[in-house]
Structure 1
Amino acid sequence: MQVIERVQSQHGSILLVTHGNLLALLLQRLDPKYDFETWRTMRNPDVYRLDLSNEEPVIKCIWPHK
């Protein structure tokens, strides 16, 4: 999270590409509703849009639509 926050503060919007395990951990860190079942049902690829500019992060799966 520190790396993401530092890069975002320096550059604004960023694109992060990662494996499903790390993505699932990041999603759960931001919102506990993303759990083991989320990880288990992820597709390859899955694309999420994260908006961390507000107090509460906005997480949306944008492709493929679930």
Structure 2
Amino acid sequence: MIPIHYSVIIQWSDEDQAFIAEVPELPGCSTHGDTYEEVIKNAQEVIELWLVNAMATGKEIPPPRVAA
């Protein structure tokens, strides 16, 4: 798969006592992790799973946002 770079927003959740990662360009694409390193790893995995599922089901794949 060609590398595609999506935005990932990472925030600490006091309620969950975990880091939460969301990918704004990919609806429903989010994950969590106990450490910053873990949430980054999990975000990479969930993005790949989201894209594989989109390709398998014929869903449109949104382009990544471009930072100015």
Scaled by the length of structure 1, the TM-score of the pair is: 0.28
Structure number with greater Rg is 2
Could you say which structure has the higher helix fraction?
1
Bigger RCO of structures 1 and 2 (CA < 8 A, at least 6 apart): 2
Scaled by the length of structure 2, the TM-score of the pair is: 0.28
